[in-house]
Structure 1
């Protein structure tokens, strides 16, 4: 016979003797199970205050059954504890009871033991009861001794609720930690853990590892850390101020046990923290009006929050487009990896320390998430903290934190983040030469750079904002070093030519290969684009954008130095009869996704909202692994945060890739780039060049031909014959569909790049049909229409950052 909440009275009425027993006072409470009693699948226990509920549930899309605990108001939308997480019940006839030995036990429909507590009582088996209390703890108790034999709070799952403890007792081998689920469908222990580490300044970490490694603490991989505990909050969480209203308290039980406990100031609220199967932590509140959970904080909310994002001696700043930089006096350990967005190896010291020489001091870094693993703590004042670090040749940095004292680092500084607000002061040990460096050369360089472009009038461009010099965003090169790198601008080093001038391959003294764009003195265009490109691309850093290495201005010479990409531009492969075979479908799709991500960064994710205005296959460069990088920002324009459209009397770009509203009326927006991307996408799939395409039978334009094939169910005929047998037909057809959606005549009909990236990454979204192009005949019809709009200054197939001539 099972006993649950009051809603089960109807079931009890079917058995009169049991009904009379139910009426007896203190016999069976709805929050308690006694020896010989049970609840079955479909029945629940409810705590006395009607706050928590315990019962059987199936997580996510699973049909497996588990016994869990949840807030009664929320039902099992968020389970806070699972008893049989490692072994599910495979039928819907399970039961939870106290057996004859006084243990909690879960049985399936065939009476097989699924889970049990393995606790023992000194008294008779009938002395044990299991109670669900209003804090959410489910405890097996010995009534005679008035002690707990087993508590669910001692076996936390993936969720931390108020009054639960996180910590442990190293002497007794007790460790209370959160363990992620394998997935939302499987509550078995996953690979991520949230745990305290007493040895490392009382910080809390998200780590990954196996069950064995988490026990002995070895071979664990850190994914996030909270920063040091200062007595009131974790200083690595700037969202947690000193007067944190929902407070975390740290306590010691006097027997070697140390614990963090989370509490709410308003106990009527429902709030909890969950360690997700992805390795992140989210804290969320229950919205009673909407009947849903609302997430209000994520531990890893940006790339900078991930542990050691910029490696040793690197500093991460999520507000910067190029998020990683080296501390002063340090340089990237492997520059090539940094250029490709791989910062894990961090930085190394460029100027050695000379301990004991009296020529060292400290550089104050403000608003910092302090490095992980402070070597030791000194309870002293701030001045003594500085002196002790300076007198210790192993000391690399120190910080004095209110409530924590003196923190000293003697190993590499890792997991350092620059905050826009909050944070601590870190004092970095450096040679004196780097603390009071002569900046006259830097000032001269800035003045020269500014004067070289002061005659250019463009109200959009705030050129003085471009940073130059040491520890800045853009490196200045002298003309002689560039001349040497390009072998005196040798014809043999020439790799391209465009409207800007000639492009040369060069090799710096460091061994880095570069592409040098030299502004032609006789060029009718260039100075505006030169200035525009420097201002923009020095601020934009993304793995799918070409990287500007530096700039050289000397007299009439104006040069841009870029990373050299050995595979040059996409069009050299795509439209070459022999090389196009190197672009298999997997590579082409990777290029499509990369270009889409690069445009999304320009439109939405960069700190400057940028419209490229000249996207085409010749402006998509390829690195050694055929990863795409968008180039040529001479025509790009910056948009305001709330700006949607702009108009220009100087229409620049390349016909065939130019959106109708831009070519005819000079109106451009993010949707102009979307149109260009759609054309590029169709070219990548088909291997056909839109500007030279002509369908002999009907004189269809490239876009008109693509739409007609798609509309008549013959889209596969558009796919490049060199890949048609090996490509994924569904994926290729989806790309054609997306390309046609992007290249629709009216901007309002085109998707945003965020929508494009989503459509490329999922196969489940139904796509709307694209509208028929208004101009489906050959390109002459479109070009002739331009006479009705603004004056068009076409650069044809020339590109400022062309790696090879068009």
Structure 2
């Protein structure tokens, strides 16, 4: 047989063995000191639930791609669910250094003879190291023990031990983008160890993505790595008093999680961590920070043969900073929540298909920047949006027309806004533009996007009169709705219907209308404030049946009841059953 056919057969064998988790020859869960794990071999936990080996990411079968059979450019040492047909990794060793196709046939996972290191090496002769972990601070007994070994536990945790249940190193201390039941997610106050989750780059690249999560001295923090921007936090006090009780209530309310998932929070002198347990060993679940920047709880559905996302935090997919990339708009009410701005196109459509939108969008037509005449560029109006990050204030532009002129006079200016008699312009990429979605994005600002004249939508050219008419009509309609709403509130108070529903306290949707006095009692007169946001403050409460709830109370008069209800209904949209009442 020719060398070409030999190599082709070898790679076909690798692909067959590594991309079919249910197909396995080796059932051993242990790698002893001095042993190696070659490509095509794998460790399997005793319960058969998890496997460790080398794999090359690919799109799951059944997911069509208009770009053909897209595969990852590299190979990785990983742990994955062994009995689930959709290849799902739970830990990856060499995220920052993939192994090439030319290197993979010479690659091994080697556990040193003295049990002091675990490493991925290429070429036995040179032993070029791709990834390694040195076992530091070993006890005298561990150094002389002949029983030092690496074991893949039933929990999916890869550990190195020489004394039973005393771990010298464990993969649970170095999470990738997710945590399994039984894994501690937090920090050690004595050693300074911080466990940080980092999202994947895309569906076929487990490399370091744009978002991170950590539980540290300040609590749980979610942030974008570049540019650095924190966008969601829960303090330790909130974790103790609110998040864990609320999670317990939510998990009990959902049929997919009721009775077998239990969250737990520990904070003592030595460590602080979050953990959750599963009472059903046959079930599969994980909590991950996904590529959009949300924390998600996913559970495997045997009936659907797919992962079901049953909980997300923050609930609005537009909350993570710049989740759609530059020159894009995020709409939390849309399934495909990211879209390019008017007359912009996706910079890399293939990356978008793989859920990597960091490159965002680019202009279809360059701006007109002449040196000897005025620019012919025009402005496209985007209403009811949260303005982009990092604006520059122009003090001299005291009117909207002067603000527009200031932007047009500078070729690097991409957009402007005139808000509260102040001019703002943007000279760099437009990041974090979010449409009003009644979930968490409630801004009513207007952004004027600079476009080449040929790219302006036909309906927006010469539209000054229609704008005036539309605004006037909208104002009249808004005033009428406000009067109708006030009339309804007066009528409701007159007939004392504020605390009861018109249909025996509960509608067909299952949402209860509480009396104000009942909510005041449940929250101890609104004494335990958990936070603020979206025109209201959130308080902890406990109902008479001991159900822990979060009560959001409208603050002041700057938001109408219509908006307030729209926001709370947004919670119900994200998790059916999370909204108990109003």
- TM-score by length of structure 2 reads 0.47
Q: Which has the higher helix share?
A: 1
Q: Which has the higher strand share?
A: 2
Structure possessing the higher relative contact order (Cα contacts under 8 Å, 6 or more residues apart): 2
| Larger-Rg structure | 1
